[in-house]
Amino acid sequence: MKRTLLVAAVSFAACAAFSPVQAKDSFDGPTVSERLESAHKAIKAKDYDRAMKELQAAVKDEPRNPDVHNLIGYTYRVRANPDLPKSFEHYNLALKYNPNHKGTMEYMGEAYLMDKKPEEAEKMLTRLETTCGNQTCAEYQELFKAIADYKSAKK
C-alpha cells in the first residue's frame, strides 16, 4: 500500500512539473516589480503613454498594489492634459490599500494644489507629518515646498 501511494505521489509530481499551466508561468512576461521599474524610467523620460501601458498591465496582475495605483495617479496628473478625477481615483485606491503610503500623500497633496484646493493639500501635509513622525521625511519636505510655492504664486 505504501509503495502504491509513493508511486502515485511521484507520478502526480511529475505530471504537475510538466503541465501546460506550470510551463506557462515561467513565460508570463515581466513581473509587477519590473513593470514598475519600466514605468519609472518612462516617467523620467516623460513618456507617459509608455508608463501608463506598463502600469495598466501591472494593475491587472496586482489590482491591490498601492505603488501601482500611486504611479497611475501620478501619470494621470502630470500628462500634458491632466486628468485629476482619474488621478484622485487612483490615489484613493493606493491609500485604501496602504493608508500610510507617504508617496501617495505627497502626490495627492500636489494634485489638490493643481485643483486649487490648498486646504486639502495642507490636510495631506498634516497626515504626512503624523505618518513620518516628524517634518523631515522627503515627502513632507516636497509637499511643504509645493504648498509654499503655491501660496507665494497667489500673492
Residue 127: what pLDDT? 97
Q: Which three cell numbers stand for residue 131?
A: 505618518
**What is the rounded distance in angstroms from the CA atom of residue 50 to the CA atom of residue 68?**
14
Task: Give the three cell numbers for residue 24.
Answer: 506557462
Checking if the pLDDT of 10 tops 70, the result is no
114: amino acid identity, one letter: M
The answer to whether residue 29 scores a pLDDT higher than 60 is yes
Structure-model confidence comparison of residues 21 and 86, the more confident one:
86
∠ CA 83-105-107, rounded to 5°: 40
In terms of pTM, does the model score above 0.75? yes
Q: Would you give the DSSP letter of residue 76? A: H
The Cα–Cα gap between 33 and 96 comes to: 20
Name the CATH topology of 30-154: 1.25.40
Which residues 6+ apart lie within 8 Å of 57 measured at CB?
30, 35
3-state secondary structure of 117: coil
Give the whole-angstrom CA distance, residue 50 versus residue 56: 10
Share of the chain above pLDDT 90, in %: 80
Task: Supply the pLDDT for residue 45.
Answer: 97
| Residue-level pLDDT at 24 | 35
Q: Which residue has the cell 491587472?
A: 60
Whether residue 136 is predicted with pLDDT greater than 70 in this model: the reply is yes
Q: Which of 111, 143, 151 is nearest to 127 (CA)?
A: 143
Question: Do the beta carbons of residue 71 and residue 50 sit within 8 Å?
Answer: no
Measured in residues, the chain has a length of 155
- Reported confidence tier of residue 3, pLDDT bands at 50, 70, 90: very low
Q: Which of 144, 147, 124, 148 is nearest to 135 (CA)?
A: 144
Query: For residue range 88-120, what is the model confidence (pLDDT) as tens digits?
Result: 999 999 999 999 999 999 999 999 999 999 999
